[in-house]
Amino acid sequence: MTSEIRLYVEGGGDQKETRARLRAAFGAFLKELRDRAREKRVHWSIVTCGGRTSTFDDYQTALRSHPHAFNVLLVDAEAPVSCDSPWEHLRSRPGDEWDNPGVPDKHCHLMVQAMEAWLIADREKLREYYGQGFLENSLPENPNVEEIAKDALEQVLKKATQKTRKGPYHKTRHAPGILESLRPDEVKKRASFCRRLFDTLGSQIDAM
C-alpha cells in the first residue's frame, strides 16, 4: 500500500510566489487531513499548478514520476456537474475533453462550479475577512453553492466586496487569505464535492 498522497491543484497563476501562497492556503484548509496523514507517517504534498491545462499536464506527469503515490487531481468543474463521474464530466465538457489517464474516479475531484463557491459557502469567515463595507445581501440565497453558475460567482463576490477596504474580490490577491480561514465543516455542508474530497482522502489515509 502506498504511503504518499499528492494533490495537484488548479490555480495560483503564473508566478512562483502566488502559487506558493495558494499552496499554503490549501494546506491550511486541508489541515485536518494533513494532520491525520502525518500521524500515520503518510507523506503529504500539495502542488499548485497554475492554469487548468498545466494542472492536468502536471498530473499526468505525476502518474509516471510517482506511480506508487495516491495522486489526486483537483480542478474547477467550470460548469454544472450532471454525472456521477468527475472524469466523465471532464471528458465531455467542451474546452477540456480530457481522457481519463487510467485511474479510478476517487483520484479526480472537482470544485463545483469553481473555487469561489467554496469561498462563499462560509459567509461568516468571508465577512470577517473583508470587514466593514461587506455587502452580504449581495450573495446568492441558495444554500447549495454548487448550483450557482460559475460565471456568476466572481461577479457576486466583487459586488459584495466593492465597498470594503480590501477592495473588490481579486482571485490572486484575496482567494488564498479567504480559503485558509474557511471552516471545512461549513463548506462541506453546502458543497457536496468538497465533502467528497474530504471523505475520499480521509478513507485513503485510514487505509494506509
- Other beta carbons within 10 angstroms of residue 165's beta carbon come to 10
Q: Give yes or no: residues 92 and 19 share one domain.
A: yes
pLDDT of 101-135, one tens digit each? 999 999 999 999 999 999 999 999 999 999 999 99
Q: Which residues span the domain enclosing 139?
A: 116-180
Are 97 and 140 in a shared domain? no
170 and 146 together in one domain:
yes
Whether residues 95 and 145 fall in one domain? no
Residues 165 and 194 in one domain: no
Residues 102, 136, single domain; the answer is: no
Q: Is 166 exposed, middle or buried (0-12, 13-18, 19+ CB in 10 A)?
A: middle
Q: How many domains does the chain divide into?
A: 2
* 124 and 203 in a common domain: no
Q: pLDDT tens for residues 25-81?
A: 999 999 999 999 999 999 999 999 999 999 999 999 999 999 999 999 999 999 999
- Specify whether 143 is located in the same domain as 201: no
**Grid-cell match 463521474, residue found:** 85
131 plus 32 within the same structural domain: no
Whole-number pLDDT of residue 1: 52
Pair (19, 94) in one structural domain: yes
**Entry pTM:** 0.96
Per-residue pLDDT at 58: 98
Cβ neighbors of 61 (< 8 A, separation 6 or more) are none
